[in-house]
Amino acid sequence: MKIRTLVASLMVIGAAAGANVALAADEPISPIQPPKSINIGMAELGKKLYFDPRLSNSGIMSCNSCHNLSMGGTDNIQTSVGDKWQQGPINSPTVLNSSLNVAQFWDGRAADLKAQAGGPIANPGEMAFSHTLAIGVLESIPQYVREFKNVFGKDKMDIDQVTLAIAEFEKTLVTPNSRFDQWLLGKKDALTADELAGYKLFKDSGCVACHNGEAVGGNSFQKMGVVEPYKTAATADGRAAVTGKDADRFNFKVPTLRNVEMTYPYFHDGAANTLTEAVDTMGRIQLGKKFTKDENAKVVAFLKTLTGDQPQFLMPILPPSSDKTPRPNPFGKK
Ligand code: HEC
Ligand code: HEC
């Protein structure tokens, strides 16, 4: 009897799960999956490197300075501040769910996270260091030497290992379990009537043509300003900088809308301060649609349901420098 009840209830669960899968599959957005096959040791090392400001010329700037994991993986300023308080040319995108991107950077010039991670360390406008200097610092810190050897099994460390480890850590930075994903998976009461109405507007107006899939974006390059040109003081050319084709001018990687409530300001030039403004601009220049105040509020309400569980981990404690570690150069006097 007991077994029968169990079988019956398992069948109910099975049927419900089947229905959920069907429901999710009909939607243009799919739930975020947990990361697959993470090398824990490598990710732990990558986490330290992600937070280590000794990979910068000033000794105060880490990946987390511009991609703050307490603030949705961004810096929440229009364009980033680099070494010696330089004004960056472009808005810092979130690192959350960046493993789902078709390529990295607004113009997609890095193929993947590993290829991306070497960039900022040596970029004079960002961390303003060099790969050789970075390896020199890491090699002078005995605990790092041991940890690199444990993870990679080699006697010598190199920049490839550094970028591999950072990329492995970044793969863990996915944000499943948003209220929207709960709804996709069958929890009918996860969204309010207004949020659902906002999702319907998002679909019916055509936003999903570009913002779809697991990351609600991140999977294609599209023109900024399809119906109306986008006016900006920023000079970025978009995808054309990579392909050299005029047709790609002002094509940018469609940003993910996951956690978009946290990743303000918006657009590659960081010109839109609020979601209300960003939704209004998108409607007008991408689709030729002017949302009413009420419609706009509903789309914004929907977008806020895309905030997922933020990465949870212990603060990494960084191994101390040794007497041999080159000292940082915060004021550019050397
Ligand atoms: C000074 C600020 C700054 C620092 C420091 C910095 N970044 Fe970035 N990051 C940016 C900006 C700005 C962009 C966008 C540049 C572009 O697209 O041209 C970016 C882009 C990215 C992207 C691509 C995301 C996407 O959606 O395309 C990733 C991933 C990333 N950074 C990771 C890192 C890692 C890892 C480090 C440390 C090694 C780091 N960043 C250090 C500002 C910074
Ligand atoms: C033709 C493709 C396309 C369509 C349709 C489209 N978008 Fe976008 N969306 C983009 C691109 C490309 C960007 C980045 C442009 C830039 O920064 O220059 C973007 C950026 C955004 C951003 C800012 C995200 C960030 O992190 O900076 C939001 C919010 C957004 N879109 C919402 C919407 C909404 C809502 C709709 C429907 C009204 C919509 N989009 C329709 C391509 C599209």
Q: Residues of the chain with pLDDT > 70: what percent?
A: 92
Write out the two tokens for 212. 């779809």
Ligand nearest, relative to CA of residue 218: 1
How does residue 249 score in pLDDT terms, banded at 50, 70 and 90?
A: very high
Checking if the pLDDT of 299 tops 50, the result is yes
Q: How far apart are CA 20 and CA 190, in angstroms?
A: 14
pLDDT in tens, 189-246: 999 999 999 999 999 999 999 999 999 999 999 999 999 999 999 999 999 999 999 9
Q: Are strands 251-253 and 221-223 parallel, antiparallel or unpaired?
A: antiparallel
CB 82 within 8 A of CB 125: yes
Centre a 10 Å sphere on the Cβ of residue 18 and count the other Cβ atoms it contains: 10
Give the per-residue pLDDT at 277: 98
Checking if the pLDDT of 140 tops 70, the result is yes
Phi-psi region of 236 (alpha: psi -120 to 50; beta: other; left: phi over 0): beta
Ligand 2 binding pocket, CB closer than 6 Å: 202, 205-207, 209-211, 222, 224, 226, 252, 254-255, 257, 260, 263, 266-268, 278-279, 282-283, 286-287, 299
Q: How far apart are CA 174 and CA 306, in angstroms?
A: 12
Give the per-residue pLDDT at 149: 98
Checking if the pLDDT of 333 tops 70, the result is no
Write out the two tokens for 141. 């810190």
CB 159 within 8 A of CB 131: yes
Single out the residue of 285, 197, 216 nearest to residue 27, CA to CA: 216
Q: Determine the straight-line distance between the first and last CA of the chain, rounded to whole angstroms.
A: 81
Q: What angle do CA 108, 32, 92 make, to 5 degrees?
A: 35
CB 108 within 8 A of CB 114: no
Residue 252's H or E segment, with its range, is strand 251-253
Q: What is the mean pLDDT of residues 288-311?
A: 98
Ligand nearest, relative to CA of residue 282: 2
Checking if the pLDDT of 304 tops 70, the result is yes
Q: What is the mean pLDDT of residues 266-274?
A: 98
97, 200, 267, best to mutate for ligand 2 pocket (most atoms within 8 Å of CB): 267
Checking if the pLDDT of 18 tops 90, the result is no
Mean pLDDT over each residue of the chain, to the nearest integer? 92
Give the per-residue pLDDT at 36: 85
DSSP string, 26-84: HSSB-PPPPPPS--HHHHHHHHHHHH-GGGSSSSS--HHHHSBTTTTTB--SSS-B-GG
How does residue 84 score in pLDDT terms, banded at 50, 70 and 90?
A: confident
pLDDT in tens, 151-193: 999 999 999 999 999 999 999 999 999 999 999 999 999 999 9
Checking if the pLDDT of 287 tops 60, the result is yes
How does residue 332 score in pLDDT terms, banded at 50, 70 and 90?
A: confident
Report how far Cα 169 is from the mean position of its chain's Cα atoms: 13
Block residue for tokens 């649609």: 289
Write out the two tokens for 29. 């957005």
Checking if the pLDDT of 15 tops 50, the result is no
Phi-psi region of 252 (alpha: psi -120 to 50; beta: other; left: phi over 0): beta
Write down the pTM of the prediction: 0.93
Checking if the pLDDT of 1 tops 60, the result is no
Give the per-residue pLDDT at 130: 92
Q: How far apart are CA 309 and CA 164, in angstroms?
A: 25
Question: Is residue 139 annotated as a catalytic residue, yes or no?
Answer: no
Give the per-residue pLDDT at 40: 96
Give the per-residue pLDDT at 11: 39
282 Cα–ligand 2 center, Å = 6
255 Cα–ligand 2 center, Å = 7
Give the per-residue pLDDT at 329: 86
Scored b (16 or more CB within 10 A) or e, 143-158 reads ebbebbeebbeeeebe
Report how far Cα 220 is from the mean position of its chain's Cα atoms: 15
Centre a 10 Å sphere on the Cβ of residue 334 and count the other Cβ atoms it contains: 7
Give the per-residue pLDDT at 23: 56
DSSP β-bridge partners for residue 266: 272
Q: What angle do CA 177, 78, 331 make, to 5 degrees?
A: 110
Cβ-based burial of 276 (10 A; exposed 0-12, middle 13-18, buried ≥19): middle
286 Cα–ligand 2 center, Å = 8
Q: How far apart are CA 78 and CA 213, in angstroms?
A: 27
176 Cα–ligand 2 center, Å = 21
Ligand 1: residue whose CA is nearest its atom 41: 63
Ligand 2: residue whose CA is nearest its atom 36: 207
Q: How far apart are CA 246 and CA 89, in angstroms?
A: 21
Ligand 1: residue whose CA is nearest its atom 13: 92
